[in-house]
Amino acid sequence: MGITVTDQLPSPPHVATLVVDEALTKLEGLDVISRTLGASIERAGTSRPFIALGASTRVEIEIPKFGEAPPLALDVSSSESVADARSAALELMNRLTAATRWRIIPMFAD
């Protein structure tokens, strides 16, 4: 039993991206976010670890491809709406800015 052409694929989550101009690995970045929020890293040890920000929101880190310079992309996703993702991203940005020296820029698509 597999997916057929007529099966509905799950819709992608709504995403708001924050760009961080820091030279960190994905795990280092997740560790800083985890400590700042007092939250645990889910699916640690997999290729797609994340930190839950709320019931419907989470953050994952995308790192530059081999040979590319930083920045890191913090992808905040929501199963609810783009507005929910953006709100959670801005809250995360405020908390990280207060706790670190990271320069964070919201990169929200219009």
Residue 86's pLDDT is what?
97
Residue 63's pLDDT is what?
74
Write down all domains in the chain, each with its CATH number in brackets: 22-107 (3.30.310)
Number of H helices, E strands in the chain: 2, 6
CB atoms under 10 Å from CB of 14, counted, come to: 18
Q: What is the DSSP letter of 38?
A: T
Residue 22's pLDDT is what?
85
Residue ranges for the chain with pLDDT beneath 70: 1-12, 64, 66-70, 110
- Which tens digit of pLDDT belongs to each residue from 56-86? 999 999 876 766 656 889 999 999 999 999 9
Instruction: Please give the model's pTM, rounded to 2 decimal places.
Output: 0.84
The C-alpha torsion from 80 through 77 and 106 to 39, rounded to 10°, is 110
